[in-house]
Structure 1
């Protein structure tokens, strides 16, 4: 396929339906036409798409919607009264259909919204479109479908019924053919089903209609000796007694009858595999003697039919009977000699078998697509102990959290306590854990609580440390390549842009925790400065991949923040991070990790290597999901115990959250920013000694402006057009924030006090989001602003961001489509910032709003923010002057006070 045809079209699932979401790549002509149709009327576009086969340009989310649409049409066209009822039909989603579809639900944006109620709502929308179309259609329903697809066939009006009648030992089944017809019911008509013999009376004066009705019987008789004989003898028009053999023949031939257009109603026990003997192999009925991913757990095979357990001897007895149906323990069982022998062979193989705990949790075999991947004759399950273990891992709310150490300075919300307990419990088993809470739910504070718990347990000289490490079956390596010391050590790897923020959070929540930061100096210097006694080592991904003092040590705990940094399994940095040895591993990510299955594999290759098989096995499995979508349920079942993801939309969570969550994010300056900042402050220190009065005030204000520009980006200060990401700590942090925002297709407002920063921010954000957003500043005319706001607020047109200058966009605009606000630089008057924030946090906002305030660490930005936060007298001077006071108060400081305020530590 050429490059032009490689783009894919996907959707974003929402609480009340779905929205179009074009995935990266250039769309082929057919996909582009579909995109246009979805933009005009997404439900009608889906309705028509359901008539066509699945296309290569379907993203998994669109594949799923197509499958739902196909299921709707199957249910619709299985109604024998459809031709009569026409626009008076209502397709109800049956529980078994809903369960089948939910099992095919892909990993994707908003997939948490998809449940049985969501599916029924979509069925209802599709039903309304069919009713609308068929009401305006003058031809038959069959012709309506024939003109649109060759894959759907409207059933005839004839039913075949097979029911049990165990009172008759000789013929324990009864058969009847019926047909659908209208019955006058007052002023309306209702569809009812009558024995087929009544059709001979109803249509005695209209042979043409009678022949049309009975035409399907001729098609069935041409392929079935049983039906042919019943038609020829005329017995088909009467209720009949069926022997076991006749009933079995009927059941086996049922696909032929349905192909002829005859709908069959049969006993539930024959639907699916419930009439077949099946083999179930459970793993972990009893707890092992120790815990750990490599510990062996026993296998226990069981034979059963429709939930009733059978002995091996009973199944062996079935082999001696004639093939067909046999009554065993009150259940009709299908006797297939080759099948039963294969099950007994597998039963014998499983007796006394063992698998590792890791294999048991993934279903005792890999996810690789095998020839019998769809075989339902046998399956694996969790034994009593393993089932209770999995249930506990998936219900952190049932756990009793370990007591928080007194040195931890915070009060955890109820769901954060659950997360803290879950981290301790899962790592206790020797497993890696992924904390994937939504943005703003406090992943950092939960992990700090866990780390402080580890540290204080170790300080208390307990056996190994916390319950997590004491129960872990992993042992430190004994080879000379890894150096272990008695002291407990933890490694925290974060994006470089978040180093300052983690330091601030540690100082806030765990002030007694000794830590070191390995970053910002040459590698040889960092190696020499490495502190063996520090409990926590914090470093960036780039440094962790290089430093021998990190790579060559065994760590008691290893934490990755923004773990999507290792999403590419082939990247050199990813491979280096995975080589670091540790006893327990934790990954933190606010990005939905399920958006790309290769990313999911890479994450779990770090957390619990082998759980999802090899990279090749998983790639083969992923490719097969288009034709075997039930694999999504299997994959979700495997990974769910190791992922804890809570959403702000969850009612049990949202009630415990503020509707506006303000977060100060501390930015580490780049090397270029540090050099320029020190240069400017040094120049001020020399010049201020000589300056007096107005000249001094002008010098101070000019310097402050320069420093704020440097904190934003060196290119703003230098006046060049480069604006490289690597040169600005704020740009790097903005990338981290917006990556998560885009992953959920949410919207963000980015405020800056500098008009000249609007363009560079727009360019940078357009690259991050893969599409251009909107910009509002003082030069944008009021009429134009109104149009931009209307476009931003349009739900069906995803505009990911709006960049606003603080003065032009800080008041008067209603921008509730955004639920994220980023203050790129600080206006030192909280009232002004709050006015800007209220563009999103106002009447009409239905979601919690996340507000991020970026400030450069150890600079004038960070210090004034701290002054305001401390509510000191100086803060009163800042705020008291009102919005127009600017930075004039700073000019009143003496030289020492001024330099202490602006000097870079």
Structure 2
């Protein structure tokens, strides 16, 4: 019968018993009569037509209707009815009551579980609605059921006597006993229980399971025979006592209410693998892990954190007497402890957590004070290998005191009450051992933080020759000691003067010598003061100022003072051959009183005895390498290396040669201390302060690998700390505020069609070749192929004629270059043109000759180097200077230039910066404008993008560059050849 929605009606819900599915619910709209009573006119509502009844249906009604729709037999069987049988027929086979062996128990269980969940959700939402029992005639409002607003309570009774135990429940509602047995009562839902008694619907406190009430609907009690009582008590009664209220006669129930005592159990993780994923055998120390297991003690009983229950019950039997011990757990407090540990990096709230042994020990050491404050105990479980680990407090006390030429080191290491020999402990730590056996046979784990904090300083200590167990530290490790003192890791005693090395800006101001005939800018005077201060303490130094800031004049000021203070001594200045003339000119200008010997050329007198007649010897790296057997016999006052990156490779002949030279003091000058990698730094620092960064192999392990392979920021910081007092680096942006503006532009050029075709052919060839070589073991062949391929591509991007003499086409980049040369020259400006390819300069040179444009030229083969510089600087007709990047990278002062053209990008951006700095330096009066020519859609464009990403390491040390090609990943290679 249809219900008119424009007349009064009411939404109600009705339950009925399905022959297979049990109790189901349906939703109805019931028409109201003229007196507002429910009539016999009704209509079933589904989720699809609910909107027809508009305002009468709220959100709760919609959810109830949706849930009830999901209970109807058509919806229930849909998921399981693969053969698309009629719902009634399908259910008859699944619930075959006539022949139970043919029924499908598995599907029955799934259907009943799903329906039980739905009933529970409906009953939770239906509390404010009207609920009825459906009549046999289908009348949805046959009998109304009142939904009781409060929850009833259940008390389970046990009465034990000599023969058996009686068990029965009683129900109370609003403190009144409910008469519910033998009344036709029935359960609508079991989990949790919803019980209908006399048309009243009851729910229960503590979510009582309906299956515990069902046996008593028509039975007063259950009898448990004597012979099974102990088993029944253990399996059933303990669970009942744990979860519900129980009244007992004949046995005792003791309830304990107390606060949980958290205990962290520490044990080994069994079954650790002995090989890693590559089949490499794992060492015992790598292999072993520790397991943390959080438990809570309540009196004599302990429970796992992941077995969180409101209460736990243990049964104890004493003769014929039974006692149930019920522990009521404080889950809120347990959760607090679990959350605390999780926030501290130990997620044990829901189970155990494993850590590497050393990490576990570090965690305990780091958090022990907080654990103690909260009352968290740590207890070890039995160990399969019989080991017992020390989990007490561990301390290391390091005291460093200044002596005349070194620091004395005093150290004690304690684990609890046990003091360990520092000599033995230091050896273990330097070998990377993580365990140490204590006198009581306990095993102590050396904290990981000790390796991090003390690893370097321990490695630099030297054992005293006269006193066993006494150690000393060279004074040039002062910065490392000061850093540890700052972190409260050591006690450091320094003189007031040595304290100044924390910041060279506080160094005293030293007078200049009368032998110096120049004027130093303020930052140059600070550099001079710094070198003088290092001189007093016999420390070597690295003056690493930016190009153009006057490293030469600062050094000459120092040498002038050395002549005044140490008359009769001789210093040695070693440099690239191309710089000797420049040093000679600068010395003549600023220190005319210095007696200088130019020790170069085939006519040089190979006799070191002559050196004593001079204040300063100027020579080259090449001569030093050849004449080391002669030069090492002379004791110099200062040995100064200019462009000291020449000794960046410690295994090179020149590096091995210069370390044989003897002197009172050492100084190096360079704008680029790091060109290829971190080892460059070691070689130069080791020259000025032997042992500052440890031995070569130790440095590689301690710093190079962590920095270059893992980008370890902590190691970069620590390395910076160690070298900082001995490296002075100022950038032009920091100190030379009077320099004119520098503008850098990128000029993108488009390849011509013929040029692009040549480029694509070479690119495709090398891409296929490199991909095929990727599968081959080893890197040398791949790197060689890559370098060869990239070289050809870069040449073609400039001009294909550089790679193929038979090429007859033109170049897009050359067109742009020649156009800009014409524009620049016609406006009267001077321009430096750099290229790393001499052949490229040759092509531009041919153009200039063809157009009769005067120019200066410089590459590695140029003999009259200074003449070319003078022509450009002094002749107004010479407006163009062609320079190869390597030949013109150092030693040139070209302040007349207003423009710099970089014809091709170099792997190392710092080298480009050096080229720019030939013009943008002290003395320049013009704005310097730089143009970088880049061939679009070529490897040049991709090199620029990669340059930015490959600068991080060197930038964080003391330089501005690092090896580009060594750092290329497979993804980088693919991008370059895309």
Same fold (TM over 0.5): no
More helix by share: 1
More strand by share: 2
Q: TM-score range by the shorter chain?
A: 0.3 to 0.5
TM-score (norm 1): 0.39
TM-score (norm 2): 0.36
- Whose RCO is larger (CA < 8 A, sep 6+)? 1
Q: Between Structure 1 and Structure 2, whose CA radius of gyration is higher?
A: 2
